[in-house]
């Protein structure tokens, strides 16, 4: 469940997906260029590597021999949308389509709150392949449910950061969307820091990157940088001329 959500909240994702207009879909397919799709697939590849490291495998070539029996895989993982056999039959086009759709959905409902507690259903911004992998990674953590929640929140942050970058140089409504994403990312940084997804220096660099684009006025930008730095426990000296 998520903070601030009531009963039926998990179903809201599916409802929103059903309401997605053809215009909105076309817009985001234009934004999600080849590099963005490759980045998403690279995230999956990185997670696969982590997955196999935790499982004690030597390389991804031994994936077919991975043991999914016994207590090595949780019930949540066993009930995921894709099985091990399904994964072995996926072709590149199918994986790309899954990643593209997940990326599109990451750009919707930007202001959704952080997930807290148990994440029992696949969020729409995580592809079925990603969902299988993150569950496998989480299952090797001392606290699988907490780790899955952390991975889900971090995945959304990474994808929204990539979307913000993909919208570079945009104008009009797309520029407004980029600014909206930037504000959300700034608000998400304290939680990412608390979850140890990054350190303070990394968080502050992201703040600087976002605000350098978001706020054109140098004086206002300096003030905001100081305000955002305080939110992550960092002192920022305002330059006075």
In a shared domain, residues 139 and 238: no
Task: In whole angstroms, give the CA distance from residue 125 to residue 13.
Answer: 9
In a shared domain, residues 92 and 162: yes
Q: Where in the sequence is the domain holding 191, given as residue range(s)?
A: 171-241
**Domain final position from 133, 166, 199:** 166
DSSP SS3 for 208: helix
User: pLDDT above 70 covers what percent of the chain?
Assistant: 64
pLDDT tens column, 47-102: 544 444 433 332 333 233 333 333 333 444 444 567 778 877 888 888 889 888 99
In a shared domain, residues 162 and 82: yes
In a shared domain, residues 43 and 120: yes
In a shared domain, residues 215 and 148: no
Q: b/e for 36-64, b at 16 or more Cβ within 10 A?
A: bbebbbebbeebbebbbeebebeeeeeee
Task: Note whether residue 187 is domain-resident.
Answer: yes
In a shared domain, residues 155 and 183: no
pLDDT tens column, 165-188: 999 999 999 999 999 999 999 999
pTM of the model: 0.69
pLDDT tens column, 124-175: 999 998 998 889 889 999 999 999 999 999 999 999 999 999 999 999 999 9
Task: In whole angstroms, give the CA distance from residue 205 to residue 195.
Answer: 17
């Amino acid at each position: 469940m998520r903070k601030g959500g009531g009963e039926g909240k998990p179903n809201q994702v599916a409802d929103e997906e059903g309401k997605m207009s053809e215009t909105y879909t076309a817009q985001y397919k234009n934004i999600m260029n080849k590099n963005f799709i490759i980045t998403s697939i690279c995230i999956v590849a990185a997670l696969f590597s982590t997955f196999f490291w935790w499982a004690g495998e030597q390389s991804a070539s031994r994936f077919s021999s991975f043991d999914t029996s016994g207590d090595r895989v949780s019930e949540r993982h066993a009930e995921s949308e894709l099985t091990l056999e399904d994964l072995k039959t996926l072709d590149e086009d199918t994986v790309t389509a899954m990643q593209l759709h997940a990326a599109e959905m990451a750009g919707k409902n930007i202001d959704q709150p952080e997930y807290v507690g148990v994440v029992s259903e696949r969020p729409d911004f995580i592809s079925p392949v990603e969902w299988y992998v993150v569950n496998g990674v989480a299952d090797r953590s001392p606290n699988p449910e907490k780790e899955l929640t952390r991975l889900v929140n971090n995945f959304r942050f990474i994808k929204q950061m990539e979307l913000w970058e993909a919208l570079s140089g945009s104008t009009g409504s797309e520029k407004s969307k980029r600014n909206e994403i930037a504000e959300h990312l700034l608000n998400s940084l304290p939680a990412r820091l608390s979850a140890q997804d990054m350190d303070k220096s990394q968080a502050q660099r992201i703040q600087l990157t976002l605000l350098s684009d978001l706020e054109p006025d140098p004086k206002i930008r300096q003030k905001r940088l100081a305000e955002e730095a305080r939110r992550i426990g960092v002192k920022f000296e305002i330059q006075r001329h």
